[in-house]
Amino acid sequence: MERVAVIGLGIMGRGMAINIAGAGYPLTVWNRTRSKTDEFTKMGARVADTPKDAAAGADIVITMLSDPPAVELVAFGRDGVIEGLGEGAVLIDCSTVDPSTSLKLASAAKGKGADFLDSPVGGSRDAAEAGTLVLMVGGDKAVLEKVKPLLMRVGNKIVHAGDTGKGAALKLCFNLVIAHSAAALAETLMLGTRAGLDPGLVLDAVNSSIAGSRLYEWKGGCILDRDFSTNFALKLIHKDLNLMMSAAYATNTPLPVTAAVKELFGQAKSFADPESDYCSVIQALETLTGTVVKK
Ligand code: NAP
């Protein structure tokens, strides 16, 4: 079996690494906050001292980090992944980043005689733990075929979006719908509450119609329960909205509604804990109106 390194053991990377270890792959892990590696030591994984050390000797290196600056630091910084990447290895970046970050990683991997795939994921903490993520892959199809058995341990659907950067581009399109949906949900529940309706009744009516969705069911329930525990952080969806606007600029695409949604999430970061779940976007509207949405 290929030797695998997982770099970044946050909400998503942790679940993915547990599934990889569970499938029997010899695993090395690295995380900036070292205490998050403790449970992996108990599973028999090797804990690397640096990203370079993690990548050295690995056949497949997976990075799962917050944002483009974190990916660039871990990849290109001192003792970074690229320094350790061996000839013939495959670097797979699962972080949500912009296509230009993926292109830089691909070029650096090529310089080491290695291959690169951008493979951001759909699905949250539960899907990462269950191994049911959707992988949106950019890069050479033959390289994807080589690593497919490993990827099918962390996900249950792989979409080959095209060449390098297309996985990253697809993920931004995917998250555009998520961000708009969360904003629409928050505004719907706020309007209903201020119109004198029970927000639970509003949610039930929406979810009983063609407009219903699993996202509305899950996040609507969290809002009504005032459960803002983090599955996907507010600060990360705001990062993604900024990446969408950069992609819009790069492709000369008007995204007027996304621009407004980005500002709403930006405000929410001031009114709610940026580390809390993105459904706390409701707290921006609550601060503006003085009305709390709850059961
Ligand atoms: P997370 O829990 O915040 O984990 C982020 C990871 O990045 C941690 O391992 C963190 O290390 C590391 N990191 C951040 N800045 C760093 C730096 N400067 N140097 C080194 N390491 C750094 O985030 P997550 O929810 O797992 O998300 C990871 C990626 O997946 C993001 O790109 C996110 O947009 C995407 N994503 C998330 C979800 C979701 O539902 N959560 C779903 C799909 C995609 P520390 O542990 O030391 O902080």
Q: What is the C-alpha to C-alpha distance for residues 191 and 187, in angstroms, rounded to an integer?
A: 6
Q: Do 224 and 193 share a structural domain?
A: yes
Give the distance (Å) from ligand 1 centre to CA of residue 276. 13
Q: Do 156 and 196 share a structural domain?
A: no
Euclidean distance between the first and the last CA atom of the chain, given in angstroms as a whole number = 51
81: CATH: 3.40.50.720
144 token code pair: 């994807």
Q: Do 174 and 155 share a structural domain?
A: no
Model pTM above 0.95: yes
* Per-residue DSSP letter, 182: H
Q: Do 258 and 285 share a structural domain?
A: yes
pLDDT digits (tens, 9 = 90+) for 121-163: 999 999 999 999 999 999 999 999 999 999 999 999 999 999 9
User: What residues are paired with 30 via a beta bridge?
Assistant: 7
Pocket of ligand 1 (CB under 6 A): 8-13, 31-33, 36, 64-67, 70, 73-74, 95-96, 121, 124-125, 231-233, 236
Q: What is the C-alpha to C-alpha distance for residues 243 and 252, in angstroms, rounded to an integer?
A: 14
Residue located nearest, by CA, to atom 42 of ligand 1: 124
Neighbours of 222 (CB within 10 A): 17
Active site residue 295: no
pLDDT digits (tens, 9 = 90+) for 63-92: 999 999 999 999 999 999 999 999 999 999
Residue located nearest, by CA, to atom 30 of ligand 1: 95
Among 18, 66, 124, the mutation site with the greatest number of ligand 1 atoms within 8 A of its Cβ is 66
Angle at the Cα of 81 from the Cα atoms of 159 and 18, rounded to 5 degrees: 55
| Catalytic-labelled residue, pool 52, 112, 171, 262 | 171
192: CATH: 1.10.1040.10
Asked if residue 294 is part of any domain, the answer here is no
From 148, 163, 178, the end of a domain falls on: 163
Q: Do 138 and 178 share a structural domain?
A: no
Q: What is the C-alpha to C-alpha distance for residues 171 and 239, in angstroms, rounded to an integer?
A: 13
Asked if residue 295 is part of any domain, the answer here is no
Q: Do 176 and 159 share a structural domain?
A: no
pLDDT digits (tens, 9 = 90+) for 225-236: 999 999 999 999
R_g of the chain, CA atoms, integer Å:
20
Give the distance (Å) from ligand 1 centre to CA of residue 233. 9
From 99, 132, 163, the end of a domain falls on: 163
Domain that holds residue 124: 4-163
Q: Do 145 and 33 share a structural domain?
A: yes
> What is residue 205's predicted lDDT score, i.e. its pLDDT?
97
